[in-house]
Structure 1
Amino acid sequence: MQVLMLSSSRVGSEGYLQHAIPMIDQHLRDHKEVLFVPFAGVSVNWDEYTAMVQTALPHLTIKGIHQYTDAKQAIKSAQAIAVGGGNTFNLLHQLYEQDLLKLIQQRVRQGLPYIGWSAGSNICGKSIRTTNDMPIMQPKSFDALNLVPFQLNPHYSDYQPPGHNGETRAQRIQEFCILHPTTPVIGIREGSALLLQRNQLTLKGELDGLVFKGTSQTVITANQDLSQYLT
């Protein structure tokens, strides 16, 4: 499989997807046409979302899956697929409603290059139970693409504003780990990505990440081989 799981679409004040262009280009190699899935978009309509991605990646041809009369055929004939961020629950709801989840899973497992960011990365894991989003829609199931046998937490941050008394991100993930002690959760910071190529998993970017499993937390570093988490 060829799966690029970006934590975010932006880093700091940089432009939309600008930090990710080198990773995207290397991932796509000679493929220039990308089928874009904008279903995580809620506050932006899907045509506008697709146009925003096209503007950010002018050297590629971006076509929204919603613009095809036959979405399944679009997936079957795609050179590559990209799934954008937004609300993970709405994204997964739409994939179930349109019966596209298993087809995307099948094609990616056959080698179709996949690029996701934020919500689009979150659905690469076993489920969306470690998303940061509010459940504004109720999908048929929380089960996701299961391209990797662990959970993801994009936009991971251990920052806590002064005076804020709510749970930290780490505490929320630890709640998951208490109930699911054998399932790892990999937190990737903005600007970072997980890259799955064939049977090798690597952390890309300049920042460390974290792996939560059971009661343990393990720091992972840039370019570290994480293939142990594929079993």
Structure 2
Amino acid sequence: MRLLLLSNSTNHGTGYLEHALETVLTFLDGAALTFVPYALADHDAYTAKVAAALAPSGTRVTGLHEAADPRAEIERAEAVFVGGGNTFRLLDTLGRLGLLAPLADRVRDGLPYMGASAGTNIAGLTIRTTNDMPIAQPASFEALGLVPFQLNPHFLDADPTSTHRGETREQRLAEFLEVNDVPVLGLREGTWLAVQDGAARIGGSAVGAGAPGPAVVFARGAAPREVSGDVSELLGTTPRFDVPA
């Protein structure tokens, strides 16, 4: 498989995909792009935004929603990009259209898959570690399962100077691990996970004050672990869901 899983599509002060553009274009390697806009409501505007960002490179972008037969479009796609937005709406729409299994099968057969935010969430086993509000109700939380662990894009470190007393992201992920024995890869803003030829690597540079590194791994029975570069050991994960500690 070839995966490029972005934490976010826009860094503060930059244009859409600008912070990762060189990596994106190298990943696509001239392929036409089938864009999946289902995480947002306005599919046309979303597709136009992606097309405008990639137009200078000559990349041709087609919205999957424009196809009379989305399954057939996935079968003939050269590369696919699943954009960010609401993860529940994205998974629900893909499920209702019967596209989850065909998309996963094609990616496992070598179709390059790029995701951002919600599109990165669904590359994991389930969407149980998304940050999004459940504005739609998918039939299941099970996602594409392209990697055998959980993903948490937009990972935010707690601000020690904040007066907010609600749960931190780390606390929420700790709650997940109380019920599930599955590692979670938290990707900070500006970073991504690339998977190819059985290897997984963290790329990009974390943005935001106080970010100690690009990513962090949360696992049951262990302290959070900062990671960068090669994280291929995560591909050997044996996930266990619904097994309270």
For residues 118 and 201 of structure 1, what CA distance do their matches in structure 2 show?
18
Contact kept? 1:202, 1:225, Cα under 8 Å: yes
**Structure-to-structure mapping, 1:109-188, within 5 angstroms:** 109-160=108-159, 162-181=162-181, 183-188=182-187
Q: Which residue of 2 aligns with 1:54?
A: 51
1:225 maps to 2:230: yes
Q: Which residue of 2 aligns with 1:215?
A: 221
The total of aligned residue pairs comes to 225
SS of residue paired to 1:188 = strand
What code does the residue aligned with 2:116 have? W
What code does the residue aligned with 1:197 have? Q
For residues 170 and 22 of structure 2, what CA distance do their matches in structure 1 show?
30
How far is 1:162 from its partner?
A: 1.7
How far is 1:159 from its partner?
A: 3.4
How far is 1:177 from its partner?
A: 0.8
For residues 150 and 176 of structure 1, what CA distance do their matches in structure 2 show?
12
How far is 1:192 from its partner?
A: 0.2
How far is 1:23 from its partner?
A: 1.1
What code does the residue aligned with 1:162 have? S
For residues 130 and 115 of structure 1, what CA distance do their matches in structure 2 show?
19
For residues 19 and 98 of structure 2, what CA distance do their matches in structure 1 show?
32
What code does the residue aligned with 2:178 have? I
TM-score normalised by length of structure 2 = 0.90
Contact kept? 1:174, 1:215, Cα under 8 Å: no
What code does the residue aligned with 1:50 have? T
How far is 1:70 from its partner?
A: 0.5
How far is 1:206 from its partner?
A: 2.2
Superposed CA deviations along residues 79-101 of structure 1, whole A, max 9, x for unmatched, are 00000000000000000000000
Superposed CA deviations along residues 40-83 of structure 1, whole A, max 9, x for unmatched, are 013xx000000011011112111100101000000000000000
Superposed CA deviations along residues 118-172 of structure 1, whole A, max 9, x for unmatched, are 0000000000000000000000100000000000000001133721111000100
Give the gaps of 5 or more residues in structure 1.
none
How far is 1:184 from its partner?
A: 0.4
For residues 145 and 198 of structure 1, what CA distance do their matches in structure 2 show?
19
Q: Cα RMSD (Å) of the superposition?
A: 1.0
Moved over 4 A (4+): none
What code does the residue aligned with 1:21 have? L
Contact kept? 2:37, 2:46, Cα under 8 Å: yes
For residues 205 and 35 of structure 2, what CA distance do their matches in structure 1 show?
27
Q: Which residue of 2 aligns with 1:196?
A: 195
SS of residue paired to 1:154 = strand
Contact kept? 1:178, 1:215, Cα under 8 Å: no
SS of residue paired to 1:142 = coil
